[in-house]
Structure 1
Amino acid sequence: MRKELRTILWLGLLLGGLILAILVGWHQVRTASTTASSAKVIEQGRQVYADQCASCHGAQLEGQPDWKTPLPSGRLPAPPHDAGGHTWHHPDDILFRIVKEGTAAIVGGGYESDMPGFADVLGDAEIQAVLAYIKSTWPERERGYQKEVSRRD
């Protein structure tokens, strides 16, 4: 009986170790795949940003000069998307809608903005990629804050 118990215990440990090894390996493959996928999305977003956004928001995400001071038209200049701006204060769903529908459509109440909606130019995946690229440039503190704001929304 003791020998059978030892054999069962040994097989249980062996099986448990095998399952653990499979799970760890799967997690590593999944993490590597996610990292590669994320890098691809960020690179796509960088290119879309350069093509569609940089002319107003700056090649380095710096925004237009005096972006907090209204222009003669009463509209605000394009804000920066780097850590010095306010983009990271907004949750993901609002950022997505601003890019897709335009600022005026989101703010409402007759608010006027030079920021158009890109629904006819960019697909949802491209908008998500642009946002991923912008977020990838923020320091950890801003990324963490924005992630938390998005979680609450």
Structure 2
Amino acid sequence: MKYLFILLSTSLLSACTDTNTQSKSSENDTSSANNSTVYSEKETTKRWYSTTDVQMGKKVFLANCAACHGDQAQGLVKDWKQTLDNGKYPAPPLNGSAHAWHHPLKILNRTIVYGGIPLGGTMPGFKDKLSQTERLQAIAYFQNFWSDEIYQAWLSRGGLK
């Protein structure tokens, strides 16, 4: 009975998720370069990105993001909510332990494009450095560290909208 409930729940979750919706705007395009789907360790939550996206995203992230966000998106300071000596906040963790999961994919992408400087932060924009595909792959890499619970919360907040 327990396995039937899990199977039924998984089927219902899959049926309710529209993973084929693609935005016409290249800045908001969330289509994956590869059709293989990434599942969490429990294989219950289907993710929008592929295994290849995560692998490529790791390269992009390590080359462009890890110096401030950590090599596994864990952040580099103990308390990312506390200002630094310069009055600015440090780069937050992106591994699901901070607030990145509160923002939909298009806002995460926009943050990479324009950076945080216009909002008083220190993150530079990567509009001219990273392609749309590379930005999405970097997001896939750090979302890969999110637990099922965090990823589900992100989805319910409209993460793919």
Query: TM over 0.5: same fold?
Result: yes
- Structure 2: runs of 5+ lacking an equivalent: 1-33, 38-48
Deviation digits for residues 56-97 of structure 1, max 9, x if unmatched? 101121112121111122110010011211111111111010
What does residue 58 of structure 1 align with? 70
Kept after mapping to 1: 8 A contact 2:95/2:145: yes
Mapped to 1, the partners of 2:96 and 2:54 lie a distance apart of 17
Q: In the alignment, residue 130 of structure 2 is paired with which amino acid?
A: L
What does residue 35 of structure 1 align with? 36
Give the TM-score, by structure 2 length.
0.66
Deviation digits for residues 122-143 of structure 1, max 9, x if unmatched? 0011001111111111100111
What does residue 69 of structure 1 align with? 82
What does residue 91 of structure 1 align with? 104
What does residue 120 of structure 2 align with? 112
Q: How many residues align?
A: 116
Give the TM-score, by structure 1 length.
0.69
Name which one, 1 or 2, has greater alpha-carbon Rg. 1
Mapped to 2, the partners of 1:152 and 1:131 lie a distance apart of 12
CA RMSD, 1 decimal: 1.9
Mapped to 2, the partners of 1:150 and 1:117 lie a distance apart of 24
Kept after mapping to 1: 8 A contact 2:105/2:160: no
Does 1:81 pair with 2:82? no
Q: How does 1:132-143 map to 2 (within 5 A)?
A: 132-143=140-151
Kept after mapping to 1: 8 A contact 2:96/2:143: no
Mapped to 2, the partners of 1:151 and 1:142 lie a distance apart of 11
What does residue 9 of structure 2 align with? none
- Structure 1: runs of 5+ lacking an equivalent: 1-32, 106-110
**How far apart are residue 152 of structure 1 and its match?**
8.1
